Amino acid sequence: MVTSHICWNCKNKVDPKNLFCSKCNKIQLPKTLNEFELLGIEEIYNLNLEFLENRYLKLQKMVHPDKFSNLSDKEIKYSTLLSSMINDAYQKLENKNSRANLILTLRGFTKESESKSYNDPEVLEEIMNIQNRCLETDSLQSKKEILKELDYKISNTSKGISESFDIEDYKNAYKLNIKLSYLEKIKNNLKML
Amino acid sequence: MNLINIKEPNLENDSKLCIGIDFGTTNSVCSVKLNDDFIYILDKSGKELIPTIVLYDDKEKFFGNDILKGKKYFDSIFSVKRKFTENYDKKIYLNERNNKISPVDVSKDFFIYIKKICEDFLKQKIFDCVITVPAYFDEKARSGIMKAAFMAGFRVRRLINEPTAAAFAYGLEKKKRGIFFVYDLGGGTFDVSLLKLSDGIFKVIGTSGDPNLGGDDFDVLFTKWALEEKLKIDLDNLSEKESLRIIKHFKLIKEKFANTNHISEELNINNSSKKITINIEEFHSCIEPLVEKTIQIASKLLNEVDTTIDEIDGFILVGGSSRIELISKKLKEIFGTQIFNDVNPDLVVSKGAALHGYELLNGSKNILLDVTPLSLGIETMGGLMEKIISRNSPIPVIKEQTFTTYENGQTALKIKILQGERETSTNNRNLGEFTLNKISPKPAGIPRIKVMFSLDADGILFVTAQDEETGNESEISIKTNENLDLAEMRSIVESSIINAKDDIEQRMLIESKIKAKSFLNEIESIKTEIKLLCNKNDQENIEKNIIMLKNTIKTNNCDMINECIEKLNKSTESFAQKKIEKDFSQVLGKGINELS
Ligand SMILES: [Zn+2]
């Protein structure tokens, strides 16, 4: 259901995936694109981060307000908005956790369709366990060890999420993603200690 | 070292001029790019470093290098920039006519002065500029700087962060690529920024700092220590003027340690001469805690943005205070990476601003992708801060948040905006409150008000709201408690630049318009109270004068605007009187007439 929109400047029909009018080259403001579409990348969980960053920088180089400073107020406003949207999309896609949430939403999986709280006793125990060890850590050595373990757990969980997406088991992806968010939070807290 | 280009500027150019202004705590620097030339602007005394000092003295005002190092020197206002992280509208100074003025007013006068220097040097009118600010400045401090420059008649094309500007100039000049740490220790502020320099893109990965730690603090610490240790004198016991003089003396001693390991000097304190000898080891161990503090901030940032030291290509040292030898020694010791100090740390920030300004006006080859240094959020019920935009997010950025009512039939909602990293709202900077009005009355929790918080490329906040049901943006009005928002101010400057014949006329017009708009905003916010307290005749009179003032603003006639402000002011006098009476009776429980 790709509906084209009309260029604000020359009234030409513009493909909503294009950020610039093909006729007059003016910047456009597509409101209907999701984060993946905005960055022009495939809607998958396993993203190549380097590729993502390159796409992001290439787009910012086209739409950033620095490029529009000597143009009309309207173009400055549109470029600021578009640049903001791309920044936001990039941040969401760069982070595994929010990326998984995005895909879940796009596939129609909502938190409401699941039980709201997440009570897998085994996982909770695992989280509590590592959390307690973080609180007790006193040496740089033990901090490093826990960080290493956390990284291992994070990568495993992420792998699990990826596999769940492959077989379209969104319920499991959702659960693992909550676990991932806990692990990331613990890791960040530990890093800043 | 940058060689100062002193040749006559090439005036036969068709590029638009944009001044790069490094408004520093201690010194300010202006520079400009003209086609293929880049030049630092020199003041009348031929210097590119303009001390950021203002002296109001006996019906006259003096600035920068014009203030001679005579007796009155220490009556000057020093380090006004430091006030921007506090309440900069508070009138804490006296001007040449003995009127109370605020740090913004002082800075405005200073900006007028440097505008004049630029115009004299370049022999043409100047409006456009890019101003640098400490990366760790919050939104409010940024707005304050912008306001001061606007009131001076500048058209501010962009605010950029000092370390970003430095990296921009450095990267372009030395053709560097890679990940660099900019260590920027100025007179009053400390910033660290981690940047990735690639082709045409200068991307800030993360930034941190302390808006109240700079060379000034090193000077004070050093002076305190030396007086106490060597002369058994407590700095705090000296008069304010005397201690300022002594601190400036120790600042010079500090700078001498760049070339010598031992200093022996006569020092005049309270009219008696004292001999003081200090060696460099003593100096270093005295300032070490502050250097440590900066290094901790840098290490913490590395951790936060998940970068290891091996990925970094080097440190770029910026800011006059980064010349202290101990700093590069410590950085090398702890991070083991290359230190680049092959640019003039006093000048490179202004250069970055000028180069960027040139591109903004004449077509950009490069973009600066910066981040916001502090999280932005709102106060929730329990006095906690809920983050909406987290620190180190790339800007510009826009985030939506949906609000609802908590009482049946509620038609207005007050939202407090905060900036900072602390959990409780009182520990963060209050950016202001705004009210969502004219919400259609519904049961509690039913209205859905979508509020958009956006930080633009200057790091300035804009808030807009929309009732999701009606989709009508104009139905809801937002008023922050700031008198004038920057968009309003920007348009005032624009229209005044086009209409005024000369500088003074232009500035007076800007001032009148700002005053008029602030006054109109103020009256708008108390409109319901006016209706409550004034009789119909007074109300109509006020209303008439409001319309008249609004129309006069458009005429760009300064005298007429002032006249209309006066008229409107007069017509609200009866309201002011009634309000005082009402407030009194609220406090005392009885009317003002019954008091005597
Ligand atoms: Zn077009």
Per-residue pLDDT tens for A151-171? 999 999 999 999 999 999 999
Name the residue facing A61 among B200, B359, B454 (closest C-beta): B200
Q: In terms of pLDDT, which residue wins out, B500 or A132?
A: A132
Contacts with A70 from chain B: Cβ below 8 Å: 16, 360-363
Q: Is A83 an interface residue toward B (CB < 8 Å)?
A: yes
CA distance A64 to chain B (A): 7
Alpha helical stretches, state H, B125-161: 139-151
Task: Find, in chain B, the residue whose alpha carbon is nearest to that of A77.
Answer: B456
Per residue in B564-596, pLDDT (tens digit) is: 999 999 988 888 888 888 877 776 665 445 544
Eight-state DSSP code of residue B239: -
Domains of chain B plus CATH, in order, are 19-213+296-369 (3.30.420.40), 376-476 (2.60.34.10), 486-592 (1.20.1270.10)
Domains of chain A plus CATH, in order, are 5-94 (1.10.287.110), 115-192 (1.20.1280.20)
Q: Are B351 and B41 in contact (CB under 8 A)?
A: no
Instruction: State residue B56's pLDDT score.
Output: 96
Cα A33 to ligand 1 centre (Å): 19
Amino acid type, B74 = F
CA distance A125 to chain B (A): 27
Instruction: State residue B6's pLDDT score.
Output: 41
Q: Is A119 an interface residue toward B (CB < 8 Å)?
A: no
Residue B393 to residue A67, Cβ atoms within 8 A: no
d(CA B504, CA B417): 37
Cα B462 to ligand 1 centre (Å): 28
Name the residue facing A60 among B300, B363, B367 (closest C-beta): B367
Instruction: State residue B9's pLDDT score.
Output: 46
d(CA B309, CA B320): 25
Contacts with B303 from chain A: Cβ below 8 Å: 191-192
Sequence-distant (6+) residues with CB within 8 A of B572 are: B523, B530, B542
A 10 A CB-CB count for B95 gives 17
Residue A61 to residue B203, Cβ atoms within 8 A: no
Sequence-distant (6+) residues with CB within 8 A of A73 are: none
Name the residue facing B396 among A65, A69, A191 (closest C-beta): A65
Residue A69 to residue B397, Cβ atoms within 8 A: no
Per residue in A82-111, pLDDT (tens digit) is: 999 999 999 999 999 999 999 999 998 876
Sequence-distant (6+) residues with CB within 8 A of B245 are: B74
Residue B361 to residue A84, Cβ atoms within 8 A: no
Instruction: State residue B261's pLDDT score.
Output: 92
Contacts with B395 from chain A: Cβ below 8 Å: 84, 87
Per-residue pLDDT of chain B (596 residues; tens, 9 = 90+): 333 344 444 444 456 899 999 999 999 999 999 988 999 999 999 999 999 999 999 889 999 999 987 778 999 999 999 999 988 889 999 999 999 999 999 999 999 999 999 999 999 989 999 999 999 999 989 999 999 999 999 999 999 999 999 999 999 888 889 999 999 999 999 999 999 999 899 999 999 999 889 999 999 999 999 999 999 999 999 998 899 999 999 999 999 998 899 999 998 888 889 999 999 999 999 999 999 999 999 999 998 898 889 999 999 999 999 999 999 999 999 999 999 988 899 999 999 999 999 999 998 889 999 999 999 999 887 788 889 999 999 999 999 888 888 888 888 888 888 999 888 888 888 888 887 877 888 888 888 888 888 899 999 888 888 777 766 665 555 655 555 677 778 888 888 877 767 778 888 888 888 888 888 888 887 888 888 888 888 889 999 999 999 999 888 888 999 999 999 999 888 888 888 888 777 766 654 455 44
- Which of A59, A77, A87 to mutate: most B Cβ within 10 Å? A87
Q: What is the model's pTM? A: 0.90
Task: Find, in chain A, the residue whose alpha carbon is nearest to that of B371.
Answer: A87
Q: Are A68 and A79 in contact (CB under 8 A)?
A: yes
Q: Is A88 an interface residue toward B (CB < 8 Å)?
A: yes
CA distance A112 to chain B (A): 18
Task: Find, in chain B, the residue whose alpha carbon is nearest to that of A69.
Answer: B360
Contacts with A81 from chain B: Cβ below 8 Å: 398
d(CA B140, CA B149): 14
Residue A65 to residue B198, Cβ atoms within 8 A: no
Residue A67 to residue B456, Cβ atoms within 8 A: no
Instruction: State residue B374's pLDDT score.
Output: 93
Half-sphere exposure of B166 (CA within 13 A, CB side): 36
Q: Is A85 an interface residue toward B (CB < 8 Å)?
A: yes
- Which of B179, B362, B397, B464 to mutate: most A Cβ within 10 Å? B397
Q: Are B440 and B424 in contact (CB under 8 A)?
A: no
Tally A–B CB contacts below 8 A. Answer: 66
Q: Is A98 an interface residue toward B (CB < 8 Å)?
A: no
Q: Is A97 an interface residue toward B (CB < 8 Å)?
A: no
Q: Is B296 an interface residue toward A (CB < 8 Å)?
A: no
SS (H, E, C) chain A: CCCCEECCCCCCEECCCCCECCCCCCECCCCCCCHHHHHCCCCCCCCCHHHHHHHHHHHHHHHCHHHCCCCCHHHHHHHHHHHHHHHHHHHHHHCHHHHHHHHHHHCCCCHHHCCCCCCCHHHHHHHHHHHHHHHHCCCHHHHHHHHHHHHHHHHHHHHHHHHHHHCCCHHHHHHHHHHHHHHHHHHHHHHCC
Instruction: State residue B14's pLDDT score.
Output: 57
Residue B394 to residue A67, Cβ atoms within 8 A: no
Q: What is the mean pLDDT of chain A?
A: 88
Residue A88 to residue B398, Cβ atoms within 8 A: yes
Torsion sign (Cα): B378, B380, B383, B385? negative
- Which of A84, A96, A144 to mutate: most B Cβ within 10 Å? A84
Instruction: State residue B414's pLDDT score.
Output: 84
Residue A85 to residue B361, Cβ atoms within 8 A: no
Q: Is B397 an interface residue toward A (CB < 8 Å)?
A: yes
CA distance A4 to chain B (A): 23
Name the residue facing A192 among B203, B304, B359 (closest C-beta): B304
Contacts with B17 from chain A: Cβ below 8 Å: none
Instruction: State residue B8's pLDDT score.
Output: 45
Residue B367 to residue A61, Cβ atoms within 8 A: yes
Cα A21 to ligand 1 centre (Å): 5
Q: What is the ipTM of this complex?
A: 0.91
Name the residue facing A69 among B198, B304, B360 (closest C-beta): B360
Q: Is A69 an interface residue toward B (CB < 8 Å)?
A: yes
A 10 A CB-CB count for B70 gives 7
Residue A87 to residue B396, Cβ atoms within 8 A: yes
Over range A47-69, report the average pLDDT. 95
d(CA B569, CA B550): 14
Contacts with A80 from chain B: Cβ below 8 Å: 396, 454, 456-457
What are the Cα distances from residue A80, in Å, to A68, B307, B459?
Answer: 9, 29, 12
d(CA B346, CA B27): 8
d(CA B59, CA B528): 43
